Amino acid sequence: MHLLCEDMRIAAPDGRLFVRRWRDPDADDTADVPIVLLHDSLGCVELWRDFPEQLARATGRTVVAYDRLGFGQSDPHPGTLDAGFVRNEARTSFAALRDALRLDRFVLFGHSVGGGMAVACAAHFADACDALITESAQAFVEDRTVRGILDAKQAFAREGQVDRLRKYHDDKAPWVLSAWIDTWLAPDFAQWNLDDDLRRVRCRVLALHGDLDEYGSVEHPRRIASLAAGPARAVVLEGCGHVPHRERAGVVFETVAEWLAGA
């Protein structure tokens, strides 16, 4: 399978977004329902590494990934993230992406907070979303989540640690770190959850989660699967942490490809 990798920039409400697409130029566009990837709290297109390309090969679908505003190669964010930032992604950047790429139908795959955003997008565009895959998504603010973020805050306080982020986010790195740590630890975010959005998700749902995930217990995929309005399946990967698409790549590819093919 020959894949064409294309980079582009699209206009969103508060700035331009960097987008990368992997597609088979010989495929029938009318039959191809693309998979859109939503990255984690410190992530970007480059940090997906070879996962999008391998996912495209495993599923035979176009794969699209984008840097959220303030991340990676997208424009800087003009402000700070508020308690509604997860849900707002559906109405702002994702809506702009969908319009720019003319995504009449799509599949969503979100990692960590990107999984929460994928839920919000699937709820907001329920008539257009064919399927939803969450990976290590947080469905609510759990004690384990807070502990994991506090540990990360301490680790990033060491000299030179923020520079690791500059490789991917350039001068935006301090903002990226604050957007994760300060937002999630803010008192007004403590009661955040995906419950209302999940009840509006009508497509099929696959919730992947490692049983050793340092940012959330297996209660998260179970809650996602139990509250989603459509048919849902939770898959817990034993001996796996927060990044199954690296730690258990083969299992993730096989599970996702078989699940999508079973539509």
C-alpha–C-alpha distance, residues 179 and 150, integer Å: 14
Q: What share of the chain is helix, strand, coil (3-state, %, to 5)?
A: 40, 20, 40
Report the CATH number of the 4-261 domain: 3.40.50.1820
Predicted confidence at residue 207, as pLDDT, reads: 98
Q: Residue 148 CB: number of other CB atoms within 10 A?
A: 18
Structure tokens, 137: 């998504």
Q: What is the pLDDT of residue 26?
A: 80
Instruction: Answer whether 2's CB lies under 8 Å from 26's CB.
Output: yes
For residue 184, what pLDDT is reported? 97
Question: How far apart, in whole angstroms, are the C-alpha atoms of residue 125 and residue 32?
Answer: 18
Task: Assess contact for 215 and 188: CB atoms under 8 A.
Answer: no
Max distance between CA atoms of the chain, in angstroms, equals 51
For residue 121, which phi and psi values (nearest 5 degrees)?
-65, -40
* Total-model pTM: 0.97
How deeply is 59 buried, as exposed, middle or buried, from its count of CB atoms within 10 A (0-12, 13-18, 19+)?
buried
Q: Are strands 35-38 and 106-111 parallel, antiparallel or unpaired?
A: parallel
Decide: 142 and 216 in contact? Cβ < 8 Å: yes
**Residue 27 pLDDT:** 75
| pLDDT mean for each 10 residues of the chain (263 residues) | 92 97 82 94 98 97 98 97 97 98 97 98 98 98 97 93 94 97 97 98 98 98 97 98 98 97 79
By C-alpha distance, which of 49, 31, 54 is closest to 256? 54
Q: Give Cα 76 to chain centroid, integer Å.
A: 19
Angle in degrees, 0-180, between the axes of helices 113-124 and 93-101, rounded to the nearest 10: 60
